[in-house]
Amino acid sequence: MVTAVRTLDEGAWVNVNNTRIVGVSDIWPLVDHDVCDCDTALFLVEVFTDIGVDGPWVEARAAGQCIGCGERGATGWLRIGRADGDEFRSIDYEGGQRPSNARFSD
């Protein structure tokens, strides 16, 4: 079970159960988003503004910039991973399955 989620270093990291699972400077391809007019925003994460837990899901909101068009903005709640027993698994969406989803670049 996820027992603790928080951000570290003023929003530079998302920390789940004392493990840093995702940091800023990742680029998230986002679909169905409000960041800009791109069908798929290439969203450069600059800061995590909120983090929360919804059942097994760990969700976060982030602010940053679409590197495709230059628009700045903030995401809604994005599922960034889920607890699977004692393990935490990061999301690796192929895109398009659900609103406001994210998948992580390699």
**Residues making contact with Zn ion (CB under 5 A):** 36, 38, 41, 66, 68-69
Query: Which lies closer to Zn ion via its Cβ, residue 41 or residue 80?
Result: 41
Query: Which lies closer to Zn ion via its Cβ, residue 24 or residue 38?
Result: 38
Query: Which lies closer to Zn ion via its Cβ, residue 38 or residue 44?
Result: 38
Please report, for the chain, how many H helices and E strands are present, in that order. 0, 10
Minimum Å distance from CB 36 to Zn ion?
A: 3
In whole angstroms, what is the distance from residue 34 CA to residue 61 CA? 12
- Chain position carrying tokens 């069908």: 39
